[in-house]
Amino acid sequence: MQFSVKDFDFKIIANPDAGRSGQSASFNVEGTCIPPGTDFKWLFGDGKGATGDSVSHTYADPGSYAVTAKATFDVEGEGQAREITRNLTYKVDSSGSVTIVLPPAIEDGRGVVNVKYFFTLLTKGMPSKTEYNWYVNDRSAGKGETGALTFSKVANYTVTVKADWTDSGGQAREITASRSFDIGPEPSLSITALNGTSGETGKPYRFQASPEGIPGEARYTWYVNGKQVGTGDENTPYTLKPTDAKTYNIGLVAAWETNGAKQTASAEMKFTATAPASTSSSDSGGSSTSSGDTSAPPTSSGGLQTCTICNGTPAGTLIYASLWDGKVSQNTGYLGGTNPACKKMTLSPGHYSVHVSWLRNLAEGEIAARQGSYDTAIDVVAGGSNSFSFSPQ
């Protein structure tokens, strides 16, 4: 049987009609009078090829590609091979994406000025020759798949990456990604004296860390006159009970890591301890206590009394009361929070000076007014209810 070349024809069928980079596309031949033993060789326009009447291919980059299928066959009686070539322009769109990955400190809202942060990119399906350009508030800030950025001012920033490439058809392509965040001030540390910066020997005085911009995982170390006396986190106070009348240097150091680099902040405070004031009687027989004066203790009578001292504040506030009857100092310890809200104490009847300290959990967005102290007085009465409640003032 003679075979005529004019009876043989075919076309290329692509599925899908248009592809996406990184995704497989199939190519098949569909024709009439295809001679037995015909060989099909494919060129996909990106330097790669395949053989067979049904093939598949994955394009790495978006663009327009010239797909060629060449059929080689023998014509009976001619003794030589013949060829027929068909072409198809195949369009490949980008399926790539770019996402900016923020450094952990900035992601957690703890970014601060004058620290170098490293931003990375999460890419998917992007062309291999993509160029990445970084911008901070629309100002050029470098190139590459990693951005090393430092922020000099406290402000809100927008970091943008523009991914640029040229497709196989010579057309410029671009996609962008952006992230916005706040940068705060440099970390700082101070000490808050919950009971003041001076007082008498033998009494307890508490000091609290007051950090600004320091990560929550930081560790704090307390010092007195250069000697380490305690460690903990920012919520761990230090209690000084001076034994000598002199000036004490209270020191505090916070330590943490940012981007693998160790950082510290420190603070100092002086506390002056004095000997308790002595009391004496008047020789004239007259009273030295004027109307409204609560400093002189009244005559006490009766045995020891059971007194109840309570935290009269909402949840989240701690109360600490130091009681002084002119001879002995006693304290309640912290009341409230995870501690009991009330404490029973055994006191002698009489007049007591009370120094009340309070510490409140820092609310969201709050940067100050989270602790304080004040002085007041109570009278313990023999046979009375002797129940007292203290709140912040």
Give me the CATH number covering residue 179.
2.60.40.10
**Domain annotation covers residue 292:** no
> Of 127, 162, 183, at which residue does a domain stop?
183
Report whether 295 contacts 375 (CB < 8 A). Answer: no
**Domain annotation covers residue 282:** no
pLDDT in tens, 18-67: 887 778 899 999 988 888 888 999 999 999 999 999 999 998 887 889 99
105 three-state secondary structure:
helix
Residues 19 and 35 in one domain: yes
**Domain annotation covers residue 54:** yes
- The rounded Cα 6 to chain-centroid distance in angstroms is 73
Residues 356 and 378 in one domain: yes
Residues 314 and 382 in one domain: yes
Domain span at residue 362?
A: 305-390
Which portions of the chain are predicted below pLDDT 70? Answer: 1-6, 77-79, 95, 167-169, 259, 278-302, 314-315, 361-370
Total structural domains in the chain? 4
> Of 254, 274, 294, at which residue does a domain stop?
274
**Domain annotation covers residue 287:** no
**Domain annotation covers residue 169:** yes
221 three-state secondary structure:
strand
Report whether 220 contacts 233 (CB < 8 A). Answer: yes
Residues 330 and 344 in one domain: yes
DSSP one-letter string for 134-164 = EEETTEEEEESSEEEEE--SSEEEEEEEEEE
pLDDT in tens, 162-206: 999 886 667 788 889 999 999 988 888 999 998 889 999 999 999
pTM of full prediction above 0.85: no
Q: Which residues of 241-252 are buried (b: 16+ CB within 10 A; e: fewer)?
A: ebeeeeebebbb
Can you tell me the distance from the alpha carbon of 239 to that of 217, in angstroms, rounded to the nearest whole number? 22
Omega before residue 16 within 30° of 0, cis: yes
Report whether 329 contacts 322 (CB < 8 A). Answer: yes
**Domain annotation covers residue 283:** no
Residue 300's pLDDT is 41
